[in-house]
Amino acid sequence: DIQMTQSPSSLSASVGDRVTITCRASQSISRYLNWYQQKPGKAPKLLIYAASSSQSGVPSRFSGSGSGTDFTLTISSLQPEDFATYYCQESYSTPLTFGPGTKVDIK
Amino acid sequence: QVQLQESGPGLVKPSETLSLTCTVSGGFISSFYWNWIRQPPGKALEWIGFISYSGSTNYNPSLKSRVTISVDTSKNQFSLKLSSVTAADTAVYFCARGTPTTMITDYWGQGTLVTVSS
């Protein structure tokens, strides 16, 4: 199975800050990497797929990059509605695996 | 707009079988893969498995011996059965649509909490 790690596990930031979350796969997954945002009591929402493609309707402040084993999700200017937990997920092979999550809260 | 809705008992006794159904509306169940994913309270997401519109399945090896996913295309529904449950199976269970080949889960149900307790 492919193992996914994320860093940091949590961060505190202010509105307007630039935020970067990293995700690492235990082996190369090409660009089969997706990012999700989850708010308390809600289902995950797809933000970025195939490492850098934005899902329809996702604000342009969210961007993704990377390939192989190392990936990043960047929020260019954090907004109040962005405080949430972010998960990466590989879709290179089954079992599909998620990272442990990064919680972004208010500083 | 595709919508998914989970349904089933919220409480299951230890050693019994957990059964959930996901109803898909706003689109046909054909041409996609249909996933079950769970999230224990306060923990990360765990993929359980998927079924294709044609009925082929793929399960997480960690749960494979206890999981069955089936599809009813006439009702636009797919289902999950998890046998011999324990407290460790307490979680919010989500159903989600997966795109063929890329396996991106783009539409999710709201999730349903299943508690395993006597």
- With CB atoms and an 8 Å threshold, state whether A42 touches B103: no
Span B22-38, mean pLDDT? 92
How many pairs of residues across A and B have Cβ atoms under 8 Å apart?
53
Q: Which member of B44, B58, B104 has the closest CB to residue A46?
A: B104
Binning pLDDT at 50, 70 and 90, where does residue A106 land? confident
Q: Which of A10, A85, A96 to mutate to test the interface with B (most CBs of B within 10 A)?
A: A96
Question: Ramachandran region of residue A71, left (φ > 0), alpha (ψ -120 to 50) or beta?
Answer: beta
- With CB atoms and an 8 Å threshold, state whether B45 touches A44: yes
d(CA B54, CA B87) in angstroms, rounded, equals: 33
- With CB atoms and an 8 Å threshold, state whether B102 touches A50: yes
d(CA B10, CA B116) in angstroms, rounded, equals: 9
Q: Which member of B58, B102, B111 has the closest CB to residue A94?
A: B58
DSSP for A52-103, written as a single string = TEEPTT--TTEEEEEETTEEEEEESS--GGG-SEEEEEE-SSSSPEE---EE
For chain A, say whether B52 makes contact (Cβ under 8 Å): no
Q: B104, B27, B58, B36: which is closest to A36 by C-alpha?
A: B104
Report the 10 Å Cβ neighbour count for B103.
Answer: 22
Span A57-68, mean pLDDT? 97
Cα angle A27, B93, A52 (rounded to 5 degrees) comes to: 40
Q: Which member of B60, B61, B111 has the closest CB to residue A43?
A: B111
Quote the radius of gyration of chain B (alpha carbons, Å): 13
Binning pLDDT at 50, 70 and 90, where does residue B88 land? very high
**Which residues, 6 or more positions from A102, have their beta carbon under 8 angstroms from its beta carbon?**
A6, A7, A8, A9, A10, A11, A21, A85, A86, A87
> What is the reported pLDDT for B29?
85
CA B79 to chain centre: 6
> What is the reported pLDDT for B103?
87
Lowest mean pLDDT among A94-98, B45-49, B71-75, B84-88: B71-75
State pLDDT tens for residues A5-52. 999 999 999 999 999 999 999 999 999 999 999 999 999 999 999 999
> What is the reported pLDDT for B38?
98
The nearest alpha carbon in chain A to B6 belongs to: A43
d(CA B11, CA B18) in angstroms, rounded, equals: 9
Q: Is B88 helix (H, G, I), strand (E, B) or coil?
A: helix
State pLDDT tens for residues A65-84. 999 999 999 999 999 999 99
Measure Cα distances from B26 to B2, B3, B4, B71, B102 in Å: 4, 6, 9, 17, 22
- CA quadruple B56, B58, B64, B70: dihedral, nearest 10: -40
Q: A35, A31, A8: which is closest to A98 by C-alpha?
A: A35
Query: Which residues in chain B are closer than 8 Å to A3, comparing Cβ atoms?
Result: none
Binning pLDDT at 50, 70 and 90, where does residue B86 land? very high
Q: Is the pLDDT of residue B102 over 90?
A: no
d(CA A64, CA A75) in angstroms, rounded, equals: 9
Binning pLDDT at 50, 70 and 90, where does residue B31 land? confident
The nearest alpha carbon in chain A to B100 belongs to: A91
Looking at the DSSP bridge assignments, the partners of residue B72 are B77
Query: Which residues in chain A are closer than 8 Å to B94, comparing Cβ atoms?
Result: 43-44
CA distance B86 to chain A (A): 22
Q: Is the pLDDT of residue B28 over 90?
A: no
